[in-house]
Amino acid sequence: MSELTPTAVITGGSRGIGRTIALTLAAAGLQVYFTYVSRPEAAEDTLAAIAASGGRARAFRVDSSDAAAVAAFFSGEIKGKVRLDALVNNAGITRDGLVLRMKDEDYDQVLGTNLRGAFLFLRETARIMARQRFGRIVNISSVVGQMGNAGQINYAAAKAGMIGMTKAAAKELGSRSVTVNAVAPGFIETEMTAALPEESRRAYLSAIPLGRLGSAQDVADAVAFLVSDKAAYITGQVIAVNGGLYC
């Protein structure tokens, strides 16, 4: 039996949904390694919160769209040093705008971080998990990737791409007892939704059968289930955490 520490890697784990996922998986007994790009103070705060609850975590500044940086992270911090039990691809950015006005760089940046970044982490993780013949990979997609959203053609494309990537990887890795699933959050209480005008907020709520926005914990609980032993026979699936938005 391996003496290496069971570890979950979470991209974009210092704030928002990623932070709550990090706290939840740490509480479940996994050592958490999370990445961030900006706001190191947020990363420090998340580390402190995990330590205060008795968990173990480390934070790493890694640009998920940079293939060399991702490879260096895995070779320097993961391979042979921890037992990689789970990857949660959560890192993402938005650069919203209508398609007629969207700049090339805004499209490229969102696809680079949200989709290319997820692929780079998934590829490195798959190499390890395929050898150890065990692992859980969860990609954080979005309701926007399933039903689209005006002004977010780049974000929708990236999140839809993550769903396709999830299904393809599940077929490739299933024979090695590695599961690959996606979680597609709906409208979640975050910094972004907190800034919505009241009229827009009411419109979104009216379309949600459960009558409320979701919480980051709602998403984190779905992720925690998918990386647990209870989800051993679930792969290639998209778990919608959206309050029934399009049921």
Helix axes 16-27, 216-226, angle to 10 degrees: 50
Query: Does 156 fall in a domain?
Result: yes
Query: Does 69 fall in a domain?
Result: yes
The DSSP bridge partners found for residue 99 are none
Helix, strand, or coil here: 24? helix
E strand residue ranges, the chain: 6-10, 31-36, 57-61, 83-89, 135-140, 178-185, 238-241
Per-residue pLDDT of 108-151, as tens digits, reads 999 999 999 999 999 999 999 999 999 999 999 999 999 999 99
Work out how many domains the chain is built from and give that number: 1
The DSSP bridge partners found for residue 241 are 185
* Active-site residue list: 155
Lowest mean pLDDT among 14-18, 168-172, 190-194, 203-207: 190-194
Query: Does 134 fall in a domain?
Result: yes
The whole-chain average pLDDT of the chain stands at: 95
CATH code of the domain containing 134:
3.40.50.720
Which residue range is the domain that position 25 belongs to?
6-241
Query: Does 219 fall in a domain?
Result: yes
Q: Taking 60 as the threshold, does the pLDDT of residue 2 lie above it? A: no
Residue recorded with tokens 């997820």: 118
Tell me which residue of 217, 206, 196 sits closest to 245, measured CA to CA. Answer: 206
Its pTM stands at 0.95
